[in-house]
Structure formats: structure tokens, C-alpha cells
Amino acid sequence: MSIDILMPALSPTMEEGVLAKWHVAVGDTVKAGDVIAEIETDKATMEVEAVDEGVILALLVAAGTEGVKVNRVIAQLAGEGEVAPPPSPAAPVLPPRGEDLRPANPPPLGEGDREAVEGVGPSSDRIAASPLARRLARAAGIDLASLIGSGPHGRIIKRDIDGQAGRKPTPVQAAPTTASAPRQVQSLEELGIAPGSYDLIPLDGMGKTIARRMTESFRDIPHFPLSIDLELDALLEARARINAGLEASGVKVSVNDLIIRCAALALKRVPMANASYTPHGIAVHHHADIAVAVAIDGGLITPIIRAAETKGLAQIATEMKDLASRARARKLKPEEFQGGTFSISNLGMFGIKSFASIINEPQGAILSVGAGEKRAVVKGDSLAIATVMTVTLTCDHRVLNGTIGAQWLNEFKRLIEDPLMMLI
């Protein structure tokens, strides 16, 4: 009986993806853990590993196919007693979209076959895991019950075992629901725009996801902005001295790296600003996992500096440069852009003086950073010139009230204007 290879769910919110590339051909022999394909999600391009051992019997979805639903059969391995064709570079012949992609007249699955395909036995409490994953878990003394499988149907595979001793399952929150869906405009013509008077650029997966999530956030989260002006001259002087000291290492610290560091320290000093709303209560996070908005072709992604309060400026600069580079190439792993506790969006390099961002749920706040510019300021009873930057904190009022938001901004301002405070 042939073994189905299914379109995997590479993140908790993934519903479909693009099968970008096959790394195998019909007739190839694969082992569990071998990379067989590349899948593009709305955020990244990821490699898919084989769960079972066998010979590729059929590739049922062509490379480059968009909108492949999670759990759709994309390929098959020859089962016991089946003879696979010899390796061939020829592309598979695909039926029209929407038709059943399984071979004609497949025999029904018996209980034994179903267990072999799905890794689920007659007992409901049996853990679904590939044979290789079971062997590796036994050798490493890992309890399979402590892991979350990333294979088809939640099956535990090799990549879930590697380096995952002691990991505990993380609950996945259900998407928010609303009592009634908002009206959807189907075409511009119904709003009076003349046909043929515009060019339509279709939305890709990322564009659709951003549109949906930002609509839900702006509509469902009671949010409010708080703005404050910061003087940057001391920070810029400190940055110049830091980079002079790091010149031999090749690391260069940016203003954004300093902002990340100051934001993380401020979150540790005002813990209630580093929190998320849940239906069961307010979750106060142990670490400041700072998500930083990075513009990429077709959208935006927020790679995360984990536990930023524990890292020095050189480490933050190095990690941020690597994350931004791989973000633009859509090579980030889900854990590198999902699960932050606070976001930063910086449009200062474009000359934007001030703006307010939309909250990246489930985070409780996002900081919008404007451009630093020379402004007239009052010092004592005299006018002076200083480099000033306006930042705006958008707060989820269910988590941060005005007092907490103001406390965080004042702590952030103190760190920015007196960089030596970062050493305390």
C-alpha cells in the first residue's frame, strides 16, 4: 500500500502554501529526514523533510503550484510489495485543478495500513511518530509525549527530536471570532471606479495574511497612542564611540540596535508593559522578545531578537543583520518571526517624523520610531539646538492603561537620553 506525503502545516496559522521546488524525482529512494521539497508560506520559504523511508512513487503537485492546502496529498511513496518506476526527470502529469489527485481505483485502507500511513494505532493514546523519531527518542531518553509533532497529522519526525529534550507543548490560540463579518467590497466598479481605469496587482499569500490580521487587530483591539520626544545627541555620541571600539571586529551598531536594547531594558523595568491579553488573564512575559518590522518584497515581516534584555549591543547588531538578510530572502524559520512580546517599527530612515502602528497581536504594544532631526529646544530659560526624535507607543488598553504606557515611555526616554543607564 502506497504512503501519502501530505502538504505540511509549517506554522499554527498556515492554511495553504506554494510548493516551490521538488528536491526528488519519481524513482528516487529517500530516508526519513531527507529534504524532499521547499514550501513557501506567507512569511518564509522552508524545507520539508521525508517522514518515512521508501521510493518516490508519484509527485502529484507540480513545482510552482500556488494555493496548495494543508494536508493535501502532494506525493506518494511506494509501499511494501509495490514496484516504483525508475528515476525520471520528467514532470508528473497532473489532473485539472480540483480533481482527486490520488491514483485511480486505490484499494481501501485496512486498520494495519492506516496505522502505517498515519502512525496512529488502534489505541487512542498512542503517540504518532515516525520509526526514525522513535529510535532517536529512545537513544536520547526523550519522552515523546513532551513534544509537538510538525509532520503530517501532528506526527513527530526527526527534526522534532533534534535538540528538543525537555521541550513542553505550547498551546495554540484560536483565531478571534466576531459576531458578524464586515462587508467585503468585491470590485471597485461597485464603488464607482470605471472599468479599465486601473491596473490590478493580485495579492499573494503574505498580502492576504497582512490584510486579514491588520483588519482584525485594528477592529478588535481597543488601542490608543502615546507620543513623546527624545533627545538623541548623547545616544549618537555613544554610538560613535561604540563603533570605534568595535571596528576591528567588523560589527557596526545602528541606532535601531540601540533602540532595541533600550526598549528591552525598559520592558524589564516596567514588566506590565511586556504583557499580552488572554481570555483567562494578562500574561506577563519573562523575557523581552523584540519583534522588529522589516520591509520585504510584497509585504512586511517581524523577525525577533529573543531575550533582548540579556544581550549586548554587538550581539543584537549581529543577530539583527542576519535576521533582516534572511527575512528579505524569505528564509526565516517560523520560530524566528512568531511569538514576540513587543514590536518596533522604524520609518525614520524615510524622513517620517511621527506615526502610529497597528498592534501585532497577541503583543500588548508596538513602538513607532520617527526620524531624528535638529530642532529648537528649551534648556532652562534659553533656546538650544538638539537632535530630537518622536516615538509613539500604541497600546492595547486591555493590557496597558495610560499610566503603564507613560511609565514605559519615560523609562525608555531615560535610557535613550542617558546611554550609560544601559550599563546599570
Smallest Cα–Cα separation from 94: which of 75, 67, 107, 108? 75
Task: Report the first-to-last Cα separation within the chain, whole angstroms.
Answer: 65
Please check whether residue 20 is in contact with residue 63, taking contact to mean a CB–CB distance below 8 angstroms. Answer: yes
Residue 107: cis peptide before it, omega within 30 degrees of 0: no
Q: At what angle do helices 255-269 and 402-417 cross, to 10 degrees?
A: 130
C-alpha grid cell, residue 2: 502506497
Give residue for cell 466598479: 189
Helix (H) or strand (E) holding 321: helix 313-328
Distance CA 396, CA 341 (A): 13
Distance CA 35, CA 81 (A): 25
C-alpha grid cell, residue 288: 523581552
DSSP sequence for 220-256: HS-EEEEEEEEE-HHHHHHHHHHHHHHGGGT----HH
Q: Are strands 342-346 and 365-379 parallel, antiparallel or unpaired?
A: parallel
Helix (H) or strand (E) holding 211: helix 205-220
Please check whether residue 415 is in contact with residue 260, taking contact to mean a CB–CB distance below 8 angstroms. Answer: no
Distance CA 224, CA 366 (A): 11
Distance CA 47, CA 56 (A): 17
Which DSSP symbol is given to 302?
Answer: -
Distance CA 272, CA 99 (A): 52
Distance CA 97, CA 66 (A): 11
Around Cβ 416, how many Cβ atoms within 10 Å? 24
Please confirm, yes or no, whether 397 is among the known catalytic residues: yes
Distance CA 50, CA 62 (A): 17
Determine the 3-state secondary structure of 30 from DSSP.
Answer: strand
- Where does residue 160 fall: left (phi above 0), alpha (psi -120 to 50 degrees), or beta otherwise? alpha
Please check whether residue 4 is in contact with residue 155, taking contact to mean a CB–CB distance below 8 angstroms. Answer: no
* Active-site annotation, residues: 397
